Amino acid sequence: MTTKLVISGLALLVGTGYGAAALAQQKPEVLVKQRQSAMTLVGKYWGPIAGMPSGKAPYNAETVTRNAGYLEVLSKMPWDGFADSTKDVKSAALPAVFTDTAKFKEAGDRMQSTIAQLAKVSKGGDEASVKAAIADVGKTCAGCHDNFRQKQ
Ligand code: HEC
């Protein structure tokens, strides 16, 4: 490939972002591993704050702000990994992920918007509002897992 071709190829990649063209070349097994890794990290930063609204974990504003910031970025990552090409790869994703795509996307959007809200409120918000925002995020995890993930 000439340099010019490589450059225009790169420009195309940048232009389409994580669009279908770039994803089509990803191995399905790799996409599954990546989406699971993103979810694993979501679990890592969600865990310490999940129990704060109920008092199971002591409230710590600093932890919430830090973790919510991480979660805001992580919550954008799993979704392009649920590409159609992955539907036959063994994973905990139920077939509904690939058939009921509108509902799945809506559940993912809800998670992202409640996390974005939490990240906002966690910067200087009072304890009650932050706890309410954490609880709102929590509902979205189960809300999706109940319909789209194999029972553990
Ligand atoms: C829109 C749907 C959806 C939402 C919202 C969602 N998840 Fe998931 N999650 C899934 C699916 C589907 C899987 C199984 C993925 C697979 O096996 O490929 C999964 C897997 C996981 C895993 C296991 C990862 C692994 O493979 O080891 C963890 C941990 C997890 N989710 C945590 C969370 C937490 C915490 C939240 C909320 C903050 C959340 N998820 C929100 C759909 C969702």
Contact 121, 151 (CB under 8 A): no
Q: In the predicted model, what is the mean pLDDT of residues 107-111? A: 98
What separation in Å is there between the alpha carbon of 62 and the centre of ligand 1? 25
Q: What is the residue with the minimal CA distance to atom 38 of ligand 1?
A: 141
How high is the pLDDT of residue 19? 55
| Whether residue 135 has its Cβ less than 6 Å from ligand 1 | no
Q: In the predicted model, what is the mean pLDDT of residues 81-93? A: 97
| 89-102 pLDDT, tens digit each | 999 999 999 999 99
| 18-54 pLDDT, tens digit each | 555 555 578 999 999 999 999 999 999 999 999 999 9
| Whether residue 130 has its Cβ less than 6 Å from ligand 1 | no
Kindly give the number of the ligand 1 atom that is closest to the alpha carbon of 105: 1
How high is the pLDDT of residue 18? 53
Which residues is 93 bridged to in the sheet? 149
| Whether residue 43 has its Cβ less than 6 Å from ligand 1 | yes
C-alpha–C-alpha distance, residues 9 and 2, integer Å: 11
C-alpha–C-alpha distance, residues 49 and 65, integer Å: 10
How high is the pLDDT of residue 5? 54
4 pLDDT higher than 80: no
The number of CA neighbours under 13 Å toward the Cβ of 54 is 7
Q: pLDDT band at 15, cuts 50/70/90?
A: very low
Contact 137, 114 (CB under 8 A): yes
Encode 88-108: b = buried (16+ Cβ within 10 Å), e = exposed: eeebebbeebbeeeeebeebb
C-alpha–C-alpha distance, residues 97 and 144, integer Å: 10
Q: What is the residue with the minimal CA distance to atom 39 of ligand 1?
A: 141
List C-alpha distances in Å: 18 to 36, 69, 81, 104, 145: 17, 22, 10, 19, 24
How high is the pLDDT of residue 121? 98
Residue ranges and CATH numbers for the domains of the chain are 27-148 (1.20.120.10)
